[in-house]
Structure 1
Amino acid sequence: MPVELRLIPCLADNYAVLLRDTVTEATAVVDAPEVAPILAALERENWDLTHILVTHHHADHTAGVEALKARFGATVIGPKAERDAIAGLDFTVVDGDPVAVGGLVGRVLETPGHTKGHIVFLFEDERLLFSGDTLFVMGCGRPFECPPPVLWESLLRLRALPDDISVYCGHEYTLSNARFAMSVDPDNAALAARLEEVEGLRAAGTPTLPTSIGAEKATNPFLKADDPELAARIGLAGADPGAVFTELRNLKNNFRG
């Protein structure tokens, strides 16, 4: 395949991802939480950074953008709706716009919820989704700038993608997410097996990414707000999925497991 990926831990629990077209040698980083680890990865691989893809304006995803742009002359692409909040943008994009990294051509999906202008990058031919803080492994972002049902609708867009799409998200929240998921979906055998796997990975200091759309559909409670059994389990039998999602998000916010 003409694509190579490098997962880069940043800050306390963030991830950046390098996406490289091996034919043209174009190389993008998806989000830039901090400069040093991204620069170290580029130097280790002897790659030049040509693009910076930004999912949303939060500082833990953008703090390294300007320095990396200055060093490499990289083209910075991010959401049009957040252009005033992201320094260094060269091009802004909206839903459906193509994004090319050499010969790798993805498209933008707008997924408001965590922020009003949040976007994700889908590279269908490569079976890759870079989901930022919209979809996590067995979790989702907090809806800081929109009502929770807006985020639910965004997650439905991602749930509708093919099961074999690999997902790279912006944070290592997986162990906490898995434990919460078990608290609301305790009879889910796939979830129980996944929790055991995640505990082993984290004990070894190993990242839990990537996940896949199929794995998330099976184990992520935030993709199951329209499941009547899950709704009943949290005391909302017959409720609208948006209300169920809102309650799930509230429960996770207060979860201490």
Structure 2
Amino acid sequence: MKIEIIKCLTDNFSYLLINEKNQDACVVDPGEAKPVLEYINKNSLNLKYILNTHHHGDHINGNNILKSKFDAKILAFEDDKDRIPMIDIPLKDNQIWKDDIFEFKVIHVPGHTSGHICFHFFNEKTVFTGDTLFSLGCGKIFEGSYEDMFNSLLRLKVLPPETNVYFGHEYTLNNAIFCQRFDQNNSELNKKILNIKKKLDSGFPSVPSTIKDELNCNIFLRAKNQEEFSKLRDLKDNF
């Protein structure tokens, strides 16, 4: 399965997942249709599925156009059926869904929104985390509680360390500055920041990260308990 990073809007990432044997494709979180359409048309892909991590507009605004042009099926969490229009395949927590080479496990991760899910493509050692886990950060808590988000991150922390993390926004440099302020003696973090800066300076995105990197460097995943996590989340909200 080939993964193509599609930049959308100001700082969003959408992802095209491509079966190179037959050119079938899925798209994760199309924040806008145009750049996704351009890549699909240029490469003669057949878009079969639209995967949404959550209902926010910057992750679903391209749904309707892509669905109408390709008759693509929308997959999203079952409890978001009233917030994500035209869901064709409602998903449940811990469900394993498969079509041809596309196979993932659904991980429900409330906190940023109540219906947020991640897509764990376990065969490819890849997880799409939307706005729950970022490189060196985590999502703002809009609809859940500190406990919800802390527990959601615990679910992601136990994924295999080599798992690639594809997140929803290019927030990594700002997140890095925050992490470094409160964890300045972390040599792994300092090394990762240098690599991030090299990537960004060369015009490349910071995505993907890995679970191993995030466990070593992400201050939110390194929080020892919910109380510590909550204090860090408050500090980041005002950073």
Question: Aligned residue for 1:155?
Answer: 153
How many angstroms does 1:82 deviate by? Answer: 1.1
Q: Deviations over 1:95-146 (max 9, x none)?
A: 1112224322111010111000100000111111011111000101001001
Q: Percent identity?
A: 38
Instruction: Work out which of the residue numbers 123, 126, 131 in structure 2 matches 1:125.
Output: 123
How many angstroms does 1:26 deviate by? Answer: 2.5
TM, length-normalised to structure 2? 0.97
1:33-182 aligned within 5 A: 33-182=31-180
CA RMSD of superposed structures (Å): 1.0
Are 2:238 and 1:249 equivalent residues in the alignment? no
What amino acid is the match of 2:199?
Answer: L
- Determine if contact 2:132/2:139 at 8 Å carries over to the other structure: yes
- Determine if contact 1:25/1:102 at 8 Å carries over to the other structure: no
Q: Deviations over 1:46-81 (max 9, x none)?
A: 211110000000000000101100000001100111
Alpha-carbon separation, structure 1, partners of 2:126 and 2:86: 25
How many angstroms does 1:24 deviate by? Answer: 4.4
- Determine if contact 1:65/1:88 at 8 Å carries over to the other structure: no
1:8-23 aligned within 5 A: 8-23=6-21
Alpha-carbon separation, structure 1, partners of 2:209 and 2:120: 14
Q: Secondary structure at the match of 2:112?
A: coil
TM, length-normalised to structure 1? 0.91
- Determine if contact 1:129/1:167 at 8 Å carries over to the other structure: yes
What amino acid is the match of 2:233?
Answer: R
Alpha-carbon separation, structure 2, partners of 1:103 and 1:205: 31
Alpha-carbon separation, structure 1, partners of 2:227 and 2:205: 32
Unaligned stretches of 5+ in structure 1?
A: 227-240
Query: After the TM superposition, which of the residue ranges 100-109 and 70-79 deviates more from structure 2?
Result: 100-109
- Determine if contact 2:23/2:44 at 8 Å carries over to the other structure: no
What amino acid is the match of 2:174?
Answer: S
Question: Aligned residue for 1:210?
Answer: 208
How many angstroms does 1:205 deviate by? Answer: 2.3
Q: Secondary structure at the match of 1:92?
A: strand
What amino acid is the match of 1:175?
Answer: L
